[in-house]
Amino acid sequence: MASNFYNDDRDDNRSYQKTVAMCVAAASLVILLFLVILYVNSDTPETSKPTTAKNETEKEEEDFLKDSRNITSGELEFWKDEKKTRPVEKEEEGELTPYKDPEKKDEEETDSTADSSTEKSKRDDNGEGEGSLNKDSENDENYDREKYIAITDDKGKKKLYELLKDVSKNDYDFENDNLTNENGILTYKGNKRESIKGVDLSKYNGTVDFMKLKDSGVAFAMLRLGSRGYGTGKIELDEKFVEYAQNAKVAGIQVGAYFYSQAINETEAVEEANYIVGAVSGFNVKYPIAIDIEKVENDEARTDKLTSKERTAVVKSFCETVKGYGFKPIIYASKEMLIAGLDLEELTDYDVWLADYDTPTDYPYRFSMWQYSKKGQIEGITGDINLDMCFINYEQK
C-alpha cells in the first residue's frame, strides 16, 4: 500500500509541472502579441515633425532677441496692436476707450475742475503754488495781472500765483506822482494817506546818531531785539537793542521791535514772543512787535523743511501771544515769503511789514509798512541802512 501511494504522488507532480509550463507559454504569447500591436500602431514619422517645428521656432525667437537691441520702437509692428498691449474699459464698434487706473479715478477731471479761487488749494507741502512761467520765453509777461501775481524764486524761476479773494487788497496808488524819490528816500502821498519815514536797525549798524536821524525826518525805528540761531536754536539778545532804544527815546524817535525767528513749532514761537515782550518792557514801545520770517541764504537752516502750514502756525502763535500782552503784532517777510511761503488767508488779522526792493512794489495785498531799500544812505548812520515807510501812525493808535 505504501508503494502505490508514492507512485501516485509522482504522477501528480508531473501533471502540475506541465500545467505551469503551459500557463507561462500562454502569458509570454499574449505579451508578445501586445508589443507587436503597439509597435504597428505607433507613428514615428508624425511625432518627429512637431519637434522639428519647435526647434525652428525657438531658433527664430533667439535670432529676433539677438537682433532686437538695434531695433527701434517704430519697427516693431506688433506694438501697434493696442488690444494686446493695454487694457480697456469697453469696446464699442471697433473703438477703444483709454484705460483709467481705478486707483486714480477722475484724476484729470479733479485737476481741471479744482477750485482755483484760493491760493491755499494751490500749495503743496513745500509751500509753493502752481503755475510757472518760462523765464526765457518771450511770453514771460503775458499774464492777467488782475488774476495773478508773478514771483521769482531763489532759483530764478518765475511762478504765477492766483490772487486770493479773501485777503484784502491794498489801495495805494503808486502812480500819478504819488510816490516820490529824493536821494533814494521814498515818500508816499495819496488817497488821503501820507507815509511816515523810518529805518530798521540791528547791531550790524554800529554807532548811530539818532539826533541826526531825527533831523533827517526819521520818525520811527524798528529795532532788532533778538534772534534765534538758525543752527543752534539758541535765543540771543541783540547787543545794541538797549542802547538804540534809549537813544531813540532821547531823540524823540518812536520805536518798534522785531525778532529774527527760527522757530520750528508753535511752542518755540510762543517762547520767542514771550522773550521779546519781556525785553521791551519799560521802553514805551508804540510801534509794532514783529516776527521776522525769512530764508537763510547759502546755508542750511533748521526751518528749511517747514511747510507753508507749519510756518503759518508759527507766525500765528507768535502774533497771538504778542497780541495777548496788549502789543500790536506785525509780520515781516519778503513778497516771495508772504505769497509762496505762508497761508495769508489764515493771517488776515495781523498787519504786514513788506520787504520788497522793486519800486513801486506790485505786492497786491494790504500792508502797513514797507522796507523798500536795504542799501539806503542817510545822515546819522555810516554805511548802508534799511529804509522803511509806514502808512499807519501807530503812535496815535
The answer to whether residue 168 is domain-embedded is no
Q: For the beta carbon of residue 351, count every other beta carbon within 10 angstroms.
A: 20
In a domain, 52, yes or no: yes
Q: Specify which residues 226 forms β-bridges with.
A: 237, 259
Q: Both 279 and 376 in a single domain?
A: yes
49 and 197 assigned to the same domain: no
| Residue 156 sits in the same domain as residue 49 | no
C-alpha cell at 395: 503812535
Does 58 fall in a domain? yes
Task: Identify the pLDDT of residue 11.
Answer: 53
Q: pLDDT value at position 62?
A: 41
Q: Determine, yes or no, domain membership for 93.
A: no
DSSP code for 341 = I
SS3 196: strand
Domain annotation covers residue 81: no
Residue in the block written with cell 487706473: 101
Query: What is the spatial distance between Cα 386 and Cα 397, in angstroms, rounded to a whole number?
Result: 24
Q: Is 75 within the bounds of a domain?
A: no
> Which pLDDT belongs to residue 308?
96
State the residue range of the domain holding 128.
Answer: 114-162
Domain of 226: which CATH number?
Answer: 3.20.20.80
328 and 392 co-located in one domain: yes
- Residue with the three cell numbers 525778532: 259
Contact yes or no for 287/394 (Cβ under 8 A): yes
Tell me: do 379 and 232 sit in the same domain. yes
pLDDT, tens only, 335-354: 999 999 999 999 999 999 99
- Residue closest to 277 by CA, chosen among 294, 265, 259: 259
| Domain assignment present for 204 | yes
**Is residue 19 included in any domain, yes or no?**
yes
Give the cell for residue 229.
Answer: 540761531
Whether 223 and 356 map to the same domain: the answer is: yes
User: What does the pLDDT read at residue 40?
Assistant: 57
pLDDT tens per residue, range 18-58: 666 676 677 777 677 767 666 655 544 444 444 444 444 34
Q: Which residues contact 28 (CB under 8 A, 6 or more apart)?
A: none
d(CA 182, CA 233): 41
Task: Report the residue count for the chain.
Answer: 397
C-alpha cell, 117: 479761487
Q: Is the dihedral of CA 318, 369, 294, 313 positive or negative?
A: positive
Same domain, 143 and 254: no
Residue 153 and residue 285 in one domain: no
303 and 274 in a common domain: yes
Please state, in angstroms and as integers, the Cα–Cα distance from residue 273 to each residue in 289, 290, 291, following that order. 9, 9, 8
Residues 158 and 186 in one domain: no
Q: Same structural domain for residues 202 and 310? A: yes
- Regions of the chain with pLDDT less than 50: 1-9, 43-139
Co-location of 183 and 157 in the same domain: no
Residues 6+ apart with CB under 8 A from 263: 228, 269, 271, 272, 303, 314, 318
Domain tally for the chain?
A: 3
